[in-house]
Amino acid sequence: MNRRSGHESRKRIVDAAVKLFSQSGFNGTTMRMIAKEAGISVGGLYLYFKNKEELSLYLIKEKLNEFYSKVLLPLKEIPSPSQALKEYFTKALEFAKENRELIIIHAKQQGFTFGIEIKKEFFKKEREILKEIITRGIESREFKECEPEEVAKLLMNIIGGYVLSVVVEPENLFKPEVCIDILLKGLLKRSNL
Amino acid sequence: MNRRSGHESRKRIVDAAVKLFSQSGFNGTTMRMIAKEAGISVGGLYLYFKNKEELSLYLIKEKLNEFYSKVLLPLKEIPSPSQALKEYFTKALEFAKENRELIIIHAKQQGFTFGIEIKKEFFKKEREILKEIITRGIESREFKECEPEEVAKLLMNIIGGYVLSVVVEPENLFKPEVCIDILLKGLLKRSNL
Amino acid sequence: MNRRSGHESRKRIVDAAVKLFSQSGFNGTTMRMIAKEAGISVGGLYLYFKNKEELSLYLIKEKLNEFYSKVLLPLKEIPSPSQALKEYFTKALEFAKENRELIIIHAKQQGFTFGIEIKKEFFKKEREILKEIITRGIESREFKECEPEEVAKLLMNIIGGYVLSVVVEPENLFKPEVCIDILLKGLLKRSNL
Amino acid sequence: MNRRSGHESRKRIVDAAVKLFSQSGFNGTTMRMIAKEAGISVGGLYLYFKNKEELSLYLIKEKLNEFYSKVLLPLKEIPSPSQALKEYFTKALEFAKENRELIIIHAKQQGFTFGIEIKKEFFKKEREILKEIITRGIESREFKECEPEEVAKLLMNIIGGYVLSVVVEPENLFKPEVCIDILLKGLLKRSNL
DNA sequence: TATGAATGAGGCTTCATTCAT
DNA sequence: TATGAATGAAGCCTCATTCAT
């Protein structure tokens, strides 16, 4: 019998699951496969995760939280709205690129639809943060008059598009600078050009 | 025994499959469910489609072709580049909204990744068409200097983001006009503003 | 609609069935395959044969009858017992070699066990004929004293072995002359050597 | 849940399979039937055998090996060629009679044709052993001049015929002594008679 | 005599989960 | 905390046979 700390075992399972889910999708990955990859018995899996679904959900939640604390939260500290948006794009796209495996898991898990409640909540917070930045930009006359809510949505959709391309067609990934440039030059007031 | 024309039966199957796949995903839909919904026997399904995968692939191909002939091809007839882009966005986003069910099928079928060969080919053609429009715009000095390839990618990613939102969070869908406005005001040369 | 004489259609079906059954066995051959090979509709098959089993049975009966009339019956006309046995072996083995396809059908159809009633009846007749030849040989002092029944069985078993080899391992087929030679030299009285 | 040793379970499956396959043939036996007879769950079957075919193949291989070590190998230890042949027939026919069930499995499994590669290899070894015995017999002048290869084939075909009768018509089984007698009296040189 | 779409029972196989050890 | 044999429901697919035309 293999003796390991609980923490160690848990990590092994998570790593194995990330690898396999992203390779073969949720349905294409069996619990036996995960157990084998993690070097743990099938039964052992169930000591750490109630079932397969819960394991998958855990992976998703974990990544969402990381994104929130690494990308979104720091945005609040940036005084310049345009600077904040640049930062948002740079960081978010980079994050997507670096976490390809996990994004694929999101994708293959019911087409990004798994854990939808959690995700919606998350998106709402993201939207709020962006809205606030844009509103600040309008107030400071950096940005032209526009509907902050709509623009926030657009920005998030662009990130979404990027995420989708990461999964489906990496060759179609655009350069962040190009995106930011086009977006900003349109958002900035004529007098600022 | 129920006598129907082959065409009729095929259509029933396709309709049932669209409905069920979008509701419950590929794995969540059983052949028995499809047969029942289509009012056909299980064996009958296999008279028209070799297997479940082929049926799903058919739905996807069919929609891709429709998009190509309804949205992309007509773009070539529009002389004004900016007008063409407007048209592209309007039509593409509308198409996405109207075909929610089928998009969900794409999504749930291996996270947009099923039938990837066909899709990549399709995206390539789409990118070419957009690139051509942008190049024309640059040449006619309507658009500012930029990398047509990169911009084409960005545009497609935005559509992609919209498509993703259709699946994941319809509340996050942006207004096409806002998008076009921001995009164009940035693309157009300063002197055109 | 294809108009053919009933006889013609029946023959086509039989030929197709022989070919396919010997190639793929009874279970490996579907009615659709037979229909296609025969150039007839699936439904058409059932106009000539009640079901798949009956079709297979027909093939078997037909060949058994042919063997009886071509090989066994003529034996009765041969006055010399040893000559009759030679003839039996020569003809029977030749027949087996020439009808490989059909023998394979017998084999694959429940391991020679299909249509067992008919076959047993047939074997009984064959045994009787052989027994009679041997008895005659003993009476005429050509053959040494022996149990005709047992010897008849042995002879038939040798043919059976040959038949089996036709199916399983054609390289293992023995030369008829060798067989006859060994058998006869043993059966003949010492004084005849 | 029923706890058994792996060995125990495997044996139960094999025994059940032998019984059912010989009763109902390969296609006539379902995995559910085997599971039930073995007192094991359907899924359990697949813990020990990859699939139905593999299970059947196992039974065949196993018996072939047993025959080799119990019947063929000991032949090499017998100095007298005629004694060796007697032994071969006695043992082989006895073996066939005792393993009726398994022979029927061979028969019903594609008409003795399943696992053909393995079988051919086996037959080759058998033929070699017999050929060697006969050659020895010729050299020691016990047997008359003849082609050892052909005679070996004949002998094997006789066993084959017996095997076939075991399956098809047990009433047609000959007495081993009769067979040996006829065969040997012919093989032995006149001077030995 | 001929067609072939339709039927549906039933086979093989997979796999998440359990539980005795 | 760990094991892995065992479970059994459920999925995909096949195919002999029928019957309206």
- Rounded CA separation B128/B147 (Å): 13
**Which tokens is B170 given?**
């319809």
* Statement: the CB of B140 is under 7 Å from strand F: no
- Judged by 3 or more CB pairs under 8 A, whether D touches B is no
Our CA-based measurement puts residue A131 at a distance from the nearest CA of chain B, in whole angstroms, of: 13
Question: What is the per-residue pLDDT across B96-131, written as a single tens digit (0 to 9) for each?
Answer: 999 998 899 889 888 898 889 899 999 999 999 999
* Cβ contact B30 with chain F strand, < 7 A: yes
- Nearest CB among A112, A150, A169 relative to B167 is that of A112
Determine what percent of chain C is predicted with pLDDT higher than 70.
Answer: 93
In whole angstroms, F19 C1' to B1 CA is: 7
D143 DSSP β-pair partners: D188
For residue D188, which phi and psi values (nearest 5 degrees)?
Answer: -70, 145
Joined together, the tokens standing for residue D88 give 């071969």
Give the whole-angstrom CA distance, residue A144 versus residue B193.
Answer: 14
Instruction: Kindly list the residues from chain C whose CB atom is less than 8 angstroms away from the CB atom of residue D162.
Output: 157, 161
Q: Are there at least 3 beta-carbon pairs closer than 8 Å between D and A?
A: no
pLDDT bin (cut points 50, 70, 90) of residue C191 is: very low
| pLDDT above 80 (res D193) | no
Work out the average pLDDT over D129-144. 89
β-bridge mates for residue D188, sequence order: D143
Q: In a 10 Å sphere around its CB, with 0-12 CB exposed, 13-18 middle and 19+ buried, how is residue B6 labelled?
A: exposed
Instruction: Look at residue B187 in the predicted model and tell me its pLDDT.
Output: 54
* Residue A90 to residue A92: CA distance in whole angstroms: 6
Range 52-111, chain D: CB under 7 Å to any strand E atom: 52-53
**B124-157 confidence digits (pLDDT tens):** 999 999 999 999 988 888 888 888 999 999 999 9
> What is the C-alpha to C-alpha distance for residues C105 and C19, in angstroms, rounded to an integer?
9
Q: What's the pLDDT tens digit per position in B45-58?
A: 999 999 999 999 99
The Å distance, CA of B47 to C1' of F14, is 12
Fold match flag (B1-50 vs B53-187): no
Bridge partners of C143?
Answer: C188
For residue A26, the distance in angstroms to the closest alpha carbon of chain B comes to 9
Nearest neighbour of C110 by CB, restricted to D25, D185, D190 = D25
Per-residue confidence band for C133, with pLDDT thresholds at 50, 70 and 90: very high
CATH superfamily of B53-187: Tetracycline Repressor, domain 2 (1.10.357.10)
Asked if A169's CB is within 8 angstroms of B123's CB, the reply is yes
CA A80 to chain centre: 24
Task: Label each residue of chain D as H, E or C.
Answer: CCCCCHHHHHHHHHHHHHHHHHHHHHHHCCHHHHHHHHCCCHHHHHHHCCCHHHHHHHHHHHHHHHHHHHHHHHHCCCCCHHHHHHHHHHHHHHHHHHCHHHHHHHHHCCCCCCCHHHHHHHHHHHHHHHHHHHHHHHHCCCECCCCHHHHHHHHHHHHHHHHHHHHHCHHHCCCHHHHHHHHHHHHECHHHC
Q: What is residue C189's predicted lDDT score, i.e. its pLDDT?
A: 52
What residues pair up with A188 in beta bridges, in sequence order? A143
Cβ-based contacts (< 7 Å) between A 37-66 and strand F:
40-44, 46-47
Provide the pLDDT for residue A4.
Answer: 61
Query: CB–CB of A181 and B186 under 8 A?
Result: yes
Q: Do B113 and A107 touch (CB under 8 A)?
A: yes
- pLDDT at position A3 is 55
- Between CA D164 and CA C164 the distance in angstroms is 7
Q: How far is B79 from chain A (nearest CA, A)?
A: 23
Model confidence, pTM: 0.84
What is the Cα–Cα distance from B146 to C140, expressed in whole angstroms? 113
DSSP A86-97: HHHHHHHHHHHH
Q: How far is residue B28's CA from residue C15's CA, in Å, rounded to a whole number?
A: 46
Which position has the higher pLDDT, D143 or B127?
B127
What is the reported pLDDT for B87? Answer: 93
Largest CA distance in chain B: 72
pLDDT digits (tens, 9 = 90+) for C74-128: 999 999 988 899 899 999 999 999 999 889 988 988 889 888 988 999 999 999 9
CA-to-CA distance for C171 and C161, rounded, in angstroms? 13
pLDDT at C25 over 90: no
Q: Which residue has the higher pLDDT, A178 or C144?
A: A178
Tell me which residue of D64, D155, D50 sits closest to D106, measured CA to CA: D64
pLDDT tens readout for residues B8-54: 899 999 999 999 998 888 989 999 999 999 999 999 999 999 999 99
For the segment B74-82, the average pLDDT, to the nearest whole number, is 92
Strand E bases with any atom < 7 A from protein Cβ? 1-21
User: What would the mean pLDDT of D156-163 be, rounded to a whole number?
Assistant: 96
Compute the nearest-CA separation of C6 from chain D (Å): 33
Q: Does D157 score more than 80 pLDDT?
A: yes
Each residue's pLDDT tens digit, D28-83: 999 999 999 999 999 999 999 999 999 999 999 998 999 999 999 999 999 998 89
DSSP one-letter string for A87-146: HHHHHHHHHHHHTHHHHHHHHHTTTTTTTHHHHHHHHHHHHHHHHHHHHHHHHTTSBPS-
Among the partner-chain residues D157, D181, D184, the one whose CB lies closest to the CB of C161 is: D157
| Rounded-to-10 torsion of CA A142, A145, A148, A150 | -130
**Partner-chain contact A154 B190, CB within 8 Å:** no
| Chain A 47-76, CB < 7 Å to strand E | 51-53
C-beta separation of C156 from C123 below 8 A: yes
Report if CB B124 to strand F is under 7 Å.
Answer: no
**Reduced DSSP (H G I as helix, E B as strand, rest coil) percent helix, strand, coil of chain C, to 5:** 80, 0, 20
CB–CB contact D174 C153 (8 Å)? yes
**Tokens standing for residue B85:** 């882009």
Per-residue flag: B2 CB under 7 A of strand E: yes
d(CA B191, CA B181): 16
Residues of chain C with Cβ-Cβ distance to D178 below 8 Å are 146-147, 150-151, 154
In contact, D32 and D17? CB cutoff 8 Å: no
Task: Give dist(CA C150, CA D175) in Å, integer.
Answer: 7
Instruction: Confirm whether any atom of chain E, the nucleic acid strand, is less than 7 Å from CB of B49.
Output: no
Would you say C123 and D172 are in contact if contact means Cβ atoms under 8 Å apart? yes
Specify whether domain C1-50 bears CATH 3.40.50.970.
no
CA–CA distances in Å: residue B177 to residues B95, B156, D139: 15, 16, 104
CA end-to-end span of chain A, whole Å? 69
Give the number of other Cβ atoms within 10 Å of residue D1's Cβ.
3
Angle at A53 between CA A51 and CA A55, to 5 degrees: 75
Burial class (CB in 10 A: 0-12, 13-18, 19+), C69: exposed
> How many Å from the CA of B118 to C1' of E3?
37
Q: Count CA atoms within 13 Å of residue D76 on its CB side.
A: 10
Under 8 Å between Cβ of C31 and C45: yes
Q: Where are the domains of chain B?
A: 1-50, 53-187
Paired tokens of C143 = 């053959």
* Cα separation, A47 vs B165, whole angstroms: 36
Q: Which residues of chain A have a pLDDT value below 50?
A: 1, 190-193
Taking the stretch 7-66 of protein chain D, residues with Cβ within 7 Å of any atom in nucleic acid chain F are 8-9, 40-44, 46-48
- What is the spatial distance between Cα B179 and Cα B158, in angstroms, rounded to a whole number? 9
